[in-house]
Amino acid sequence: MNPSAAVLIIGNEVLSGRTADANLNHIARRLNDVGITLKEARVVKDVPESIVEAVNTLRKAYTYVFTTGGIGPTHDDITIPTIAKAFGVAVERNLQVEEKLKTNTGGNYTAATLRMADYPAGSRVIWHGEGFAPGCIMENVIIMAGQPHVMQVMLEAALPLLSQGTPMHTLQVDVWARESIIAEGLEAIQSRFADVEIGSYPYRHNGKAGTALVCRGESLPVVEKAFKEIKKLLEDLGAQTRAA
Amino acid sequence: MNPSAAVLIIGNEVLSGRTADANLNHIARRLNDVGITLKEARVVKDVPESIVEAVNTLRKAYTYVFTTGGIGPTHDDITIPTIAKAFGVAVERNLQVEEKLKTNTGGNYTAATLRMADYPAGSRVIWHGEGFAPGCIMENVIIMAGQPHVMQVMLEAALPLLSQGTPMHTLQVDVWARESIIAEGLEAIQSRFADVEIGSYPYRHNGKAGTALVCRGESLPVVEKAFKEIKKLLEDLGAQTRAA
């Protein structure tokens, strides 16, 4: 069975609508690639109690928790001390990271800059080659930045350090038919394939109603078998598939 | 105090990375406009236990819960029966909606089509003028579709039926300076304005580092006062603001 995961997005800006989160979809795709199954995501405010509760719930429920946001140098960056609190540990300065920050800034740093060298005691710094502070792994919690280009570097540096599983195989067909026409046959197929997740997603394209049908599973032959039955169903219904 | 809210996104496709959710940001902005404070969001799989647990936790914690996804005609659309289960009520067919679905489809409907006329017993249908099934309100839970254009219609139809509060006022300034330079002064200002949420968000534009500073609060004069202090801080630091 694949390792499981949750994403915890920490940031008032996502809940106020100021920022449209771009990290969840990226993390979801990358976890899918490496066979870690994303089961849940949460977005919480920059409020210590909310973060502590979410971290402690999710880290007990899933193999991994990936957090984004709140690890910069300003007053609203409370992720590190708050996750330390969730684990009941202190915050410690990492001297190697501190040195790197001093070098990176060409000596033009403040006390606030150096706060980015603070980590929960017992955590492991996730080194990467870029010119910004690294994220870290605290037990099963991977702590990353909120800025997408920074988060992506941290994620790539973290993934090789984690247990990975079987990448999910996905097959998709788009059809010019309403979901309701396909529903009955599709349900019958789903009932025969417990290990395949069959999804049905309506869309509109140039004012015309269509449905995307998606099969996902760990075993490619099984996914292919379910997919073949879906194609047969669409043929039997005389439904026209979109693109070849 | 403004009513509070959570968003619950129901859908395997968001967690698999197939679909990038577009609804959270839209709902966040609209709730902000009408003075409902969005405090949390969750994304869960199309799994009854996960949905029931999330709905029951969130509806007790917040004034409103807005759900998206899983209300179509296919086997993976389990939001209605599952939320009915969370409330311990049956699912009931709404005959007016059933009639509307028959008319909308020009008689070209199936048993699956008509399942979209099923609602948790005791819920209130949210009528709108469009050619698809309406969402509903079950006590404090607003149940909406996952397709963005459908969700948006349902949300606009629901908002006038809800308690609203004071819209949040937001003032923002972008500055060509690293967060670490501003951090100390900004923290001092935040400590004097408990009712203003001051956010600091780093960005890069054409390879240049900048910071967006955002003040949010219910009272415009108070937000303006905090914002004036931030402008003064930036002046004192000799930091150049972006655009006039």
Which chain A residue has its CA at the smallest distance from B36's CA?
A: A16
**Tokens 């939001």 belong to residue:** B79
Distances (CA, A) of B61 to A94, A167, B47, B228: 38, 37, 21, 35
Query: For residue B46, is pLDDT > 70?
Result: yes
A157 φψ region: left (φ > 0), alpha (ψ -120 to 50), beta (else): alpha
**How does pLDDT run across B133-187, given as a tens digit for each residue?**
999 999 999 999 999 999 999 999 999 999 999 999 999 999 999 999 999 999 9
Both B156 and B79 in one domain: the answer is yes
**How does pLDDT run across A64-89, given as a tens digit for each residue?**
999 999 999 999 999 999 999 999 99
How confident is the model over A178-203, as a mean pLDDT?
Answer: 95
Backbone angles phi and psi of A123, in degrees to 5: -85, 165
A198, amino acid identity: I
For B:21-60, CB contacts with A below 8 A are 21-22, 24-26, 28-32, 38-45, 50
Does the CA dihedral A145-A151-A157-A160 come out positive or negative?
positive
Both A90 and A199 in one domain: the answer is no
Both B176 and B154 in one domain: the answer is no
Contact A39 B179 (CB under 8 A): no
Both A189 and A154 in one domain: the answer is no
**How does pLDDT run across A41-58, given as a tens digit for each residue?**
999 999 999 999 999 999
Q: Which domain holds residue B63?
A: 4-161
Q: What is the CATH number of the domain that holds A135?
A: 3.40.980.10
Q: How far apart are CA B30 and CA B10, in angstroms?
A: 20
**How does pLDDT run across A105-153, given as a tens digit for each residue?**
898 899 999 999 999 999 999 999 898 999 999 999 999 999 999 999 9
**Is the distance from CB of B186 to CB of B196 less than 8 angstroms?**
no
Q: Of B161, B188, B219, which residue sits at a domain end?
A: B161
Q: Of A100, A131, A161, which residue sits at a domain end?
A: A161
Which residues of chain A make contact with B181, given a CB cutoff of 8 A?
A: 110, 112
Which residues of chain B make contact with A16, given a CB cutoff of 8 A?
A: 28, 32, 38, 168, 170, 197, 216
Strand A141-144 relative to strand A135-138, pairing: antiparallel
Per the structure, how many domains does chain B have?
Answer: 2
**Is the distance from CB of B14 to CB of B21 less than 8 angstroms?**
yes
**How does pLDDT run across A151-177, given as a tens digit for each residue?**
999 999 999 999 999 999 999 999 999
Strand B135-138 relative to strand B124-126, pairing: antiparallel
- Per-residue pLDDT band for B244 (boundaries 50, 70, 90) equals very low
CA neighbours within 13 Å on the CB side: how many for B58?
32
Both B96 and B199 in one domain: the answer is no
Query: For residue A244, is pLDDT > 60?
Result: no
pTM of the model: 0.95
B194 has a chain A CB within 8 A of its CB? no
Both B145 and B24 in one domain: the answer is yes
Both A34 and A113 in one domain: the answer is yes
For B:74-93, CB contacts with A below 8 A are 74-77
Closest chain B C-alpha to A138 CA, distance in angstroms? 23
